[in-house]
Amino acid sequence: AALVRYKFVVQETNYTRLCSSKNILTVNGRYPGPTISARRGDTVIVDVINQATQNITIHWHGVKQPRYPWSDGPEFITQCPIQPGSHFSQKIILSDEEGTLWWHAHSDWSRATVHGLLVVSPKIGTTYPFAEPHAEVPVILGEWWKNDIQTVMEDFLRRGGDPEPSDALTINGQPGVRYNCSRQETTKVKVDQGKTYMLRMVNAAMNNIMFFAIADHQLTVVGSDGAYTKPLKTNYVAISPGQTIDLLLETNQPHNHYYMAAKFYNSNPATIIKYNGNYTASPSPLLPLLPAFNDRNASFNFTRSLRSLASTDHPVDVPMKITRKLLYTLLINTLPCGNNSVCGGPQGRRFAASINNITFDTPKTSILGAYYRGMNGVYGDDFPDNPPFIFNYTSDSLNSSVQTPMNGTEVKILKYNDTVELVFQGTNVVSGIDHPMHLHGHSFYVVGSGIGNFDRQRDPLNYNLVDPPLQQTIAVPQNGWTAIRFRANNPGVWFMHCHFERHISWGMEMVFIVWNGKTSDANMLPPPPDMPKC
């Protein structure tokens, strides 16, 4: 395994989109940021230098960082922010991840522009579990606001309602041709006819699950979240914020250009980007057919159809004997506005999001630091294993006793090598919506999902324990549930949250602390000397 080194200078850079300019936060002046390339098992050192005027942290999304949470990145969970003028040398320790991952800022809403791909190729001497593609094409789905993103976030927090919607959807940093001023700039991918291309896709959007398709072309899914899947032929893809999908595209069509397009699921603007080829001209590119924005089944069915490759080279290892059974309800509800004069949520209240009725309060110092040094008063260890009340989560009404979530900084303690089954229960209450749940430090097997209330007796009988997909982000359906299993074999402090930025701001997050095991190779490694201070 190699040691690879990168330098990330975080800075303000002027960018123009939609005929309007603003300063954005970038890495090395680039938006989207630079791609990190490594091979399975490599270690990458990234020297992060903050030359901007605001605090920042960087997270390596999908990298498990065995025994080394120190570089994981979520602000006030595993580290204090890197302040303007200071730097932090972060270590990305790759283990069994292989495929497309990504990195992004993990403080405030700065990940809107501070993100990029992290590509993990097979080890030297090994190959993809499919024929070597002719070339690889990054497809980074994102969102662009004409307003400053920090201002967008602050307005949203002040008003208590929904955030200002973005002004454009982007692919590789460029809005589609349908937006004003974007026709020339729209990303164009040049391909040769009769070849196979690998699309390395990430949904880096802030607040929306997306549908994606290419006109007249079938796509083959071969991987997601840094693990291979059984090849899945499909006409469209549904991808959650945080999720990555690897796709094969065969350029086997007769015309010279096609659009590839992405649009929001659960809200309806569309973006289009152009796909160029060297073959027969057609007057104007064809638009792909995408599912309707409110087509819940299209999203759920696609997500449910992913399967692990489950081959000799890429075996599955689903925990069979479970030591921790957890049921977490994901709920959006409301809180009184306090002394805010404007309050944009329903019934003059503000939105609050919770897991098991706890809205997470982010502390002012790092939870990992407090845990490592045995500091009291930063967090509690009372995160409930089950929802605190019996309720029909999928009905439309909610009685007032559970209208008010509790605030808290509660963690769930896991013992080293605990085998966890965690069922997320989605809800239909106040503002029911899918929640793309993301766990740091671990991959998990998605063993089951369904519509309605989870049934502890009946539903586990239908779990897929043979070839469930191995993921790090999973869209829990509104009005339904998703069951995951993982082994807590990574000692440290690990964040778990909905990957919708507005839901993080509303408190839909919690923390697992995995205790050290008995032997020294099951212990957390010591912190690096240059950990940022609060």
Give the number of other Cβ atoms within 10 Å of residue 339's Cβ.
5
Contact assessment for residue 203 and residue 117, using Cβ atoms and an 8 Å cutoff = no
Record the tokens describing residue 204, joined without a space: 């880096």
Beta-strand ranges (E) seen in 162-286 are 168-171, 174-175, 188-191, 196-203, 210-214, 219-224, 227-234, 237-239, 244-250, 257-264, 270-277
Residues 500-519 close enough to bind Cu ion by CB under 5 A: 500, 503
Residues 407-466 close enough to bind Cu ion by CB under 5 A: 435
> Quick check: 115 binds ligand C2O (CB under 6 A)?
no
> Quick check: 263 binds ligand C2O (CB under 6 A)?
no
The DSSP 8-state label assigned to residue 462 in this structure reads G
Least gap, CB of 497 to Cu ion (angstroms): 8
> Residue from 133, 160, 242, 448 that binds ligand C2O (CB under 6 A)?
242
Least gap, CB of 371 to ligand C2O (angstroms): 18
Question: Which of 301, 224, 192, 141 is closest to 469 using CA atoms?
Answer: 224
From the list ligand C2O, Cu ion, none, partner contacted by residue 307 (C-beta under 5 to 8 A by kind): none
Least gap, CB of 222 to ligand C2O (angstroms): 22
> Quick check: 61 binds ligand C2O (CB under 6 A)?
yes
Angle at 449 between CA 104 and CA 291, to 5 degrees: 70
* 33 or 242: CB nearest ligand C2O: 242
Please tell me whether residue 188 adopts helix, strand or coil conformation: strand
* 187 or 472: CB nearest ligand C2O: 472
End-to-end Cα separation, the chain, in angstroms: 34
Contact flags string 270-289 toward ligand C2O, x per CB under 6 A? --------------------
Contact assessment for residue 495 and residue 508, using Cβ atoms and an 8 Å cutoff = no
Burial 275-293 (b: 16+ CB within 10 A, else e): bebebeeeeebbbbebbeb
* 350 or 503: CB nearest Cu ion: 503
Residues ≥6 apart with Cβ < 8 Å to 456: none
Alpha helix positions (H), 121-190: 149-159
Helix, strand and coil content of the chain, in percent to the nearest 5, comes to 10, 40, 50
Beta-strand ranges (E) seen in 40-184 are 43-50, 58-61, 87-93, 99-105, 115-121, 135-144, 168-171, 174-175
Residues 431-450 close enough to bind ligand C2O by CB under 6 A: 438, 440
Please tell me whether residue 453 adopts helix, strand or coil conformation: coil
> Quick check: 64 binds ligand C2O (CB under 6 A)?
no
Least gap, CB of 147 to Cu ion (angstroms): 23
> Quick check: 59 binds ligand C2O (CB under 6 A)?
yes
> Residue from 191, 420, 446, 498 that binds Cu ion (CB under 5 A)?
498
> Residue from 32, 66, 74, 81 that binds ligand C2O (CB under 6 A)?
74
How far apart, in whole angstroms, are the C-alpha atoms of residue 328 and residue 112?
28
Residues 485-504 close enough to bind ligand C2O by CB under 6 A: 495, 497, 499
Contact assessment for residue 440 and residue 494, using Cβ atoms and an 8 Å cutoff = yes
Residues ≥6 apart with Cβ < 8 Å to 167: 18, 144, 145, 146, 179
Contact assessment for residue 8 and residue 27, using Cβ atoms and an 8 Å cutoff = yes
> Residue from 17, 67, 106, 350 that binds ligand C2O (CB under 6 A)?
106
From the list ligand C2O, Cu ion, none, partner contacted by residue 319 (C-beta under 5 to 8 A by kind): none
| Chain position whose Cβ is nearest to Cu ion | 498
Question: Which of 119, 97, 101 is closest to 36 using CA atoms?
Answer: 119
* 199 or 511: CB nearest ligand C2O: 511
From the list ligand C2O, Cu ion, none, partner contacted by residue 438 (C-beta under 5 to 8 A by kind): ligand C2O
* 274 or 435: CB nearest Cu ion: 435
Number of residues that bind ligand C2O (CB under 6 A): 11
Contact flags string 8-47 toward ligand C2O, x per CB under 6 A? ----------------------------------------
* 497 or 502: CB nearest ligand C2O: 497
Least gap, CB of 112 to ligand C2O (angstroms): 13
From the list Cu ion, ligand C2O, none, partner contacted by residue 258 (C-beta under 5 to 8 A by kind): none
Q: Around 190, how many Cα atoms within 13 Å sit in the side-chain half-sphere?
A: 1
* 211 or 500: CB nearest Cu ion: 500
* 77 or 215: CB nearest ligand C2O: 77
Least gap, CB of 499 to ligand C2O (angstroms): 6
Residues that bind ligand C2O (CB under 6 A): 59, 61, 74, 104, 106, 242, 438, 440, 495, 497, 499
Residues that bind Cu ion (CB under 5 A): 435, 498, 500, 503
